[in-house]
């Protein structure tokens, strides 16, 4: 099979292509029509088909692989490891579904899930899917105000939480955060279901509102809850975007198209079939966790590892040990995690038998060349960069080892995934770009199955956020990209990360790549600061691998960063100021928050910080700004 042929068919004969792909899942009633695109850009895939995500992920495997491990839950925080077979998952999910139904949850109701990365989070999600209820998982690291915001938007009937999570050996009590969020909410749910892990001695349940899951569950032991067969477009879940560029958007996902797209991508992209093992290191609270910890691997009849803990604890070999122990074929992680592991002794990797491991996929943020090169050389496996978004639910750009594995190119997430018709649009002219020309990445609608169907409760925001940027009706989340002559795409950052220096348009990503290629630099962030003569000038924030020491040392370090950038990108990209910082502001999902850096540089209010991971990072930046640039001023 050639990638080119399969891809072309997916674009030129989408209905035939997707009709065939739909055969990979079970339908209670087969679709009457593959696509309804009578109201662009809204679209409905598999119209009239009735199916259920939980049935496809669990029930249908019972006959063939009931005793095969489905989910292996590992916590290096509580030092527990437990393997759940498909039959075990079926039992747990039914108990959960019966408990939720007992609290009044019905088809179409929303359920907010606020849990650590443990098996019960997956059971809660699958239980909602079983009932046709719409879950909205909120990442367990979010604070009360973030949770409150999402509750008020989703208006759940029930909230499911754990008593606590753990991070780096510390217990993080969830329930008080839930209590605080519910106080702040305009639309609190009527019931809170608490999975008590026994981590919080001071756990308090509010009579009438809060329920202990284990106690309620006893009433439903052994009950089998019938699957709710829902129409393909029925929403399966809501998931809020990271909020890197502003207020998070409630991405609404369909059911049928999502199941089909996941089944396809498990084979084509991740090359995982029944009985094979996938380890996705993400959190169930992110889209990667939804698609490739929970639904994707289970729909495929594979085994999925869900992991609570740090990549470095009890030692930096933990992930590789799990890969060896469970025979992981595909590891899916993020550039941030790899950068953490890069600082460790590579023997932690080499000590383990990784003969079953075939691929390491990385997604969520740009995979810089130094990290990609290090990972390839040190892990010795194919490193595959994946580009996608919460909105799309599955990769937009990737290499496809399950179809035809093309060579990788450093810095590129590869080629368009099946079903994605992409265009690069010149921001000024609105015309399609030629090879080698920078443009804004857009998807030609109708969006393929599995992508968002709208923004929850706000069709207008769906249209204005994603479909109103060009003359043509095109979807875009405004990432800047370039395509080379072989059709490979390179993501250059977000369009609001492009700066204009004396009429030259520069992507901050390019400058960051160049800076982080400097041996001294662990990570860099670049923003454009207003400048009277040039319009904007690049300002670099660099996190060094080791302290540069005194003022002289710092100036030398800054000078070598500058020299490298000028050497690679030309004088126009030369930073006006370089600040050596101890931390960089990031979102909870590990993405650089350039907008807050920009605001601090321009002495504005840093804006909505609810998605900020570590408030200390902003203080580190403020301190650096007060101390002044580490780059000696240049003449002229």
Alpha-carbon distance 408 to 539, whole Å?
Answer: 31
Alpha-carbon distance 574 to 535, whole Å?
Answer: 14
Residue 207: CB atoms within 10 A of its CB come to: 5
Contacting residue, 591, 593, 618, 620, with ligand ATP by CB under 6 A: 591
Alpha-carbon distance 18 to 21, whole Å?
Answer: 5
Residue in 246, 309, 316 with CA at minimum distance from that of residue 283:
309
Among the residue ranges 317-325, 452-460, 472-480, 527-535, the one whose residues contact Mg ion (CB under 5 A): 472-480
330 or 392, CB closer to Mg ion? Answer: 392
Q: How far is the CB of 36 from ligand ATP (least distance, A)?
A: 26
Residue 4: CB atoms within 10 A of its CB come to: 12
Residue 17 interacting entry, from ligand ATP, Mg ion, none, C-beta within 5 to 8 Å by type: none
394 or 579, CB closer to ligand ATP? Answer: 394
Q: How far is the CB of 368 from Mg ion (least distance, A)?
A: 19
304 or 477, CB closer to Mg ion? Answer: 477
Alpha-carbon distance 580 to 555, whole Å?
Answer: 10
281 or 386, CB closer to ligand ATP? Answer: 386
State yes or no: residue 477 binds Mg ion (CB under 5 A): yes
Residue in 600, 598, 596, 572 with CA at minimum distance from that of residue 500:
572
Alpha-carbon distance 229 to 226, whole Å?
Answer: 9
Q: How far is the CB of 611 from Mg ion (least distance, A)?
A: 12
Number of shown-chain residues binding ligand ATP (CB under 6 A): 24
Contacting residue, 94, 386, 417, 508, with ligand ATP by CB under 6 A: 386
3-state secondary structure of 475: strand
Alpha-carbon distance 614 to 320, whole Å?
Answer: 27
Kindly identify the residues of this chain, within the stretch 92-131, that bind ligand ATP according to CB under 6 A. none
State yes or no: residue 244 binds ligand ATP (CB under 6 A): yes
Contacting residue, 92, 308, 385, 510, with ligand ATP by CB under 6 A: 385
Residue 393 interacting entry, from ligand ATP, Mg ion, none, C-beta within 5 to 8 Å by type: none
Q: Locate 142 and state its tokens.
A: 């979010």
Alpha-carbon distance 113 to 137, whole Å?
Answer: 5
Contacting residue, 241, 276, 358, 514, with ligand ATP by CB under 6 A: 241
Kindly identify the residues of this chain, within the stretch 351-380, that bind ligand ATP according to CB under 6 A. 363-367
State yes or no: residue 497 binds ligand ATP (CB under 6 A): no
Residue 72: CB atoms within 10 A of its CB come to: 20
Residue in 461, 489, 459 with CA at minimum distance from that of residue 477:
461
Q: How far is the CB of 198 from ligand ATP (least distance, A)?
A: 33
Q: How far is the CB of 498 from ligand ATP (least distance, A)?
A: 13
Binding mask 442-481 for ligand ATP (x = CB under 6 A): -----------------------------------x-x--
166 or 612, CB closer to ligand ATP? Answer: 612
Q: Locate 32 and state its tokens.
A: 């009457």
Helix axis angle for 175-184 and 144-154, nearest 10°, is 60
Binding mask 397-416 for ligand ATP (x = CB under 6 A): ----------------x---
Q: How far is the CB of 49 from ligand ATP (least distance, A)?
A: 27
State yes or no: residue 149 binds ligand ATP (CB under 6 A): no
Q: How far is the CB of 594 from ligand ATP (least distance, A)?
A: 11
Q: How far is the CB of 480 from ligand ATP (least distance, A)?
A: 9
- Residue 332 pairs in a beta bridge with 280, 361
248 or 296, CB closer to ligand ATP? Answer: 248
Q: How far is the CB of 336 from ligand ATP (least distance, A)?
A: 11
477 or 516, CB closer to Mg ion? Answer: 477
Q: Is 460 exposed, middle or buried (0-12, 13-18, 19+ CB in 10 A)?
A: exposed
Cis omega before residue 559 (within 30°)? no
Alpha-carbon distance 323 to 106, whole Å?
Answer: 39
Q: Locate 36 and state its tokens.
A: 């309804």
Q: How far is the CB of 286 from Mg ion (least distance, A)?
A: 13
C-beta of residue 42 within 8 angstroms of C-beta of residue 453: yes
Q: What angle do CA 143, 148, 154 make, to 5 degrees?
A: 130
Distances (CA, A) of 532 to 222, 496, 535, 537: 72, 20, 6, 10
Among the residue ranges 308-316, 377-385, 474-482, 508-516, the one whose residues contact Mg ion (CB under 5 A): 474-482
242 or 629, CB closer to ligand ATP? Answer: 242
3-state secondary structure of 87: helix
Distances (CA, A) of 323 to 204, 205, 349: 39, 39, 10
227 or 443, CB closer to ligand ATP? Answer: 443
Q: How far is the CB of 587 from ligand ATP (least distance, A)?
A: 7
Residue 530: CB atoms within 10 A of its CB come to: 11
Q: How far is the CB of 486 from ligand ATP (least distance, A)?
A: 18
Residues that bind Mg ion in the complex, under the rule CB under 5 A: 477
Residues that bind ligand ATP (CB under 6 A): 241-245, 248, 363-367, 385-390, 413, 477, 479, 491, 494, 589, 591
């Amino acid at each position: 099979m050639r990638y080119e042929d399969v891809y072309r068919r997916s674009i030129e004969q989408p209905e035939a292509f997707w009709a065939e792909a739909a055969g990979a899942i079970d339908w209670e009633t087969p679709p009457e029509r593959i696509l309804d695109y009578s109201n662009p850009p809204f679209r409905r895939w598999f119209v009239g088909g009735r199916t259920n995500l939980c049935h496809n992920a669990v029930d249908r495997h019972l006959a063939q692989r009931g005793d095969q491990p489905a989910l292996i839950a590992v916590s290096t925080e509580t030092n527990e490891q437990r393997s759940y077979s498909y039959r075990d998952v079926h039992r747990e999910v039914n108990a959960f579904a019966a408990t939720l139904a007992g609290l009044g949850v019905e088809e179409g109701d929303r359920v907010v899930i606020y849990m650590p990365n443990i098996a019960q989070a997956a059971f809660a999600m699958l239980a909602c899917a079983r009932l046709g209820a719409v879950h909205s998982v909120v990442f367990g690291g979010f604070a009360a105000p973030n949770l409150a915001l999402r509750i008020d938007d989703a208006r759940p009937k029930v909230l499911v939480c754990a008593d606590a999570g753990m991070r780096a050996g510390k217990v993080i009590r969830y329930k008080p955060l839930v209590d605080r969020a519910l106080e702040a909410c305009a639309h609190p749910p009527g019931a809170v279901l608490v999975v008590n892990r026994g981590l919080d001695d001071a756990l308090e349940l509010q009579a009438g509102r809060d329920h202990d899951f284990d106690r309620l569950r006893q009433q439903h032991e052994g009950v089998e809850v019938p699957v709710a067969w829902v129409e393909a477009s029925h929403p399966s879940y809501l998931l809020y975007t990271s909020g890197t560029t502003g207020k998070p958007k409630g991405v609404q996902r369909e059911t049928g198209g999502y199941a089909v797209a996941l089944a396809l991508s498990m084979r084509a992209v991740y090359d995982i079939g029944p009985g094979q093992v996938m380890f996705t290191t993400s959190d169930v609270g992110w889209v990667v966790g939804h698609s490739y910890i929970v639904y994707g691997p289970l729909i495929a009849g594979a085994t999925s590892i869900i992991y609570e803990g740090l990549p470095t604890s009890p030692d930096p070999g933990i992930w590789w040990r799990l890969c060896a122990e469970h025979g992981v074929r595909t590891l899916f992680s993020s550039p941030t995690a790899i950068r953490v592991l890069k600082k460790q002794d590579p023997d932690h990797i080499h000590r383990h038998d990784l003969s079953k491991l075939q691929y390491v996929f990385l997604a969520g943020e740009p995979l810089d060349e130094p990290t990609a090169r290090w990972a390839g050389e040190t892990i010795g496996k194919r490193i595959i960069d994946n580009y996608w978004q919460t909105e799309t639910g599955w990769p937009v750009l990737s290499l496809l080892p399950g179809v035809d594995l093309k060579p990788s190119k450093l810095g590129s997430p590869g080629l368009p995934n099946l079903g994605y018709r992409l265009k690069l649009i010149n921001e000024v002219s609105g015309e399609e770009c030629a090879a080698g020309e920078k443009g804004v990445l857009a998807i030609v609608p109708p969006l393929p199955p599995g992508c968002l169907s709208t923004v929850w409760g706000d069709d207008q925001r769906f249209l204005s956020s994603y479909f109103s940027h060009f003359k043509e009706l095109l979807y875009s989340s405004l990432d800047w990209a370039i395509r080379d002559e072989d059709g490979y795409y390179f993501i250059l950052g977000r369009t609001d990360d492009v700066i204009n220096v004396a009429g030259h348009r520069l992507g901050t990503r390019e400058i960051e790549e160049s800076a982080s290629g400097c041996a001294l630099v662990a990570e860099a962030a670049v923003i454009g600061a207003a400048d009277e003569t040039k319009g904007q000038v690049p300002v670099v924030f660099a996190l060094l691998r080791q302290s540069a020491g005194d003022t002289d040392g710092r100036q030398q370090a800054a000078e070598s960063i500058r020299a490298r950038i000028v050497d690679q990108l030309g004088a126009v990209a030369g930073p006006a100021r370089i600040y050596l910082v101890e931390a960089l502001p990031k979102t909870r999902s590990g993405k650089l928050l350039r907008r807050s850096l920009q605001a601090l540089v321009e002495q504005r209010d840093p804006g909505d910080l609810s998605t900020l991971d570590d408030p200390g990072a902003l203080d580190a930046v403020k301190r650096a700004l007060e101390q002044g640039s580490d780059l000696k001023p240049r003449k002229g």
